[in-house]
Structure 1
C-alpha cells in the first residue's frame, strides 16, 4: 500500500485520442453536410468546399469527412436499402437529421470494418442526442442495433461470447 488511506493508486483515466476526436469531428460535420445535401440538394463539391471554409478543419479528419460524404452519396440506394426494412415507418417520414445519421452509420458499418460496430452505434447515438429530436437517439439506437448483426454478424457474435 502506497497511500496513507491504504488504497492502491489508480492509473489516470485517459481521454479519447486525438485520432478519435478528429474522427468524431469528421462524423459531426459529415452528418451536417449530409443533412444539407438531403434538404437542399447542393452538389457535394460545393458542400465540401463550404464546410471546409466555414469550419476549422485543424482538428478534423478531413479525409474521413470526405470519405463519408461521398461514400454515402455514391451508395445512397444500397445504404437506404440496408436499414429501410428495419424502420417502423416509411423512409420519407424519417426525420432528416436521423436519416442523415442512419446513412452515415450504415455507411460505416458496411464500408469501415476497421471501426468497431459498437463505436459506430455509439457515435450515431451521440449525434442523435445532440442534433436529433427529443427521443431520436432511441430510434437511431433501435435501428442500428438491428442492423449491426446483419452487416457485422461475426463481430457481433464474437462480442456477445
Structure 2
C-alpha cells in the first residue's frame, strides 16, 4: 500500500484518545467504573423513575435490580442513595432551591436527581470526600443529562459544599492556596 493510501484511510478514523478509560465524549468507560460509581448510576436511573413517573421505591428497586450490570454495583450504597433521596426529597429540595436561578420544575429530572445524590452524599456519606461527590455527580450529568447540564450540577453542588462540608472544604481550599504560593 502506498503512503498516500495509508494516510487517506487514516483520515477517516477518529483521533486516538490520550486518556485511557474514557469514551470519545469524555465519559468513563464501564470497565473503569468503581462499584460505587455504578451504584450512583443505578440510583440515578431509579430517582429519574421516581421524579418523572412518581413510581414507588419498591417498584423501582425491583426493576433496577434486574438491569444488566447491577451485580457489579455497590448494593449498600445504591440502597442508601435511592431510599435516602426519596425519603428526604423535601429536605434535599429545600437545600437545592436557593442555589437555583429557576424553579425546580424547570430543571431536567436528570440534573435534579444528580443534585439529590450530591446533597445526600454530602450529608450522609462522610467517608466520600466532597470533591469525589462533586466529580461523580458531574460525571453522571455528563453521561445521562443534557449538553451543559453538568455545568449546572457543578455550580449548585459547588455552592452547597461549603455549607454541608464546611470543615473539609475550608481545609482543602486553604491547602490549595498554600500549594499555589
TM range (shorter): 0.7 to 0.9
Residue 120 (structure 2) pairs with residue 127 (structure 1): no
For residue 40 of structure 1, the aligned residue among 53, 78, 87 is: 53
Unpaired runs of 5+ in structure 2? Answer: 1-20, 22-30, 175-181
* Paired residue secondary structure (2:66): helix
Q: Cα offset for 1:40?
A: 0.7
Q: State the Cα deviation string for residues 61-115 of structure 1 (Å, max 9, x = none).
A: 0111111000001111111111110001011111111001101111001111111
Query: Where does residue 140 of structure 1 map in the other structure?
Result: 153
Residue 64 (structure 2) pairs with residue 51 (structure 1): yes
- Rounded Cα–Cα distance in structure 2 between residues aligned with 1:51 and 1:74: 18
- Rounded Cα–Cα distance in structure 2 between residues aligned with 1:94 and 1:57: 28
Residue 162 (structure 2) pairs with residue 149 (structure 1): yes
Residue 40 (structure 2) pairs with residue 27 (structure 1): yes
Q: TM-score, normalised by structure 1?
A: 0.86
For residue 100 of structure 2, the aligned residue among 76, 81, 87 is: 87
Unpaired runs of 5+ in structure 1? Answer: 1-14
Q: Cα offset for 1:59?
A: 1.2
For residue 79 of structure 2, the aligned residue among 62, 66, 69 is: 66
- Rounded Cα–Cα distance in structure 1 between residues aligned with 2:134 and 2:169: 12
Q: TM-score, normalised by structure 2?
A: 0.76
Q: How many residues align?
A: 144
- Rounded Cα–Cα distance in structure 1 between residues aligned with 2:130 and 2:140: 15
Alpha-carbon RMSD across the aligned residues, in angstroms, is 1.4
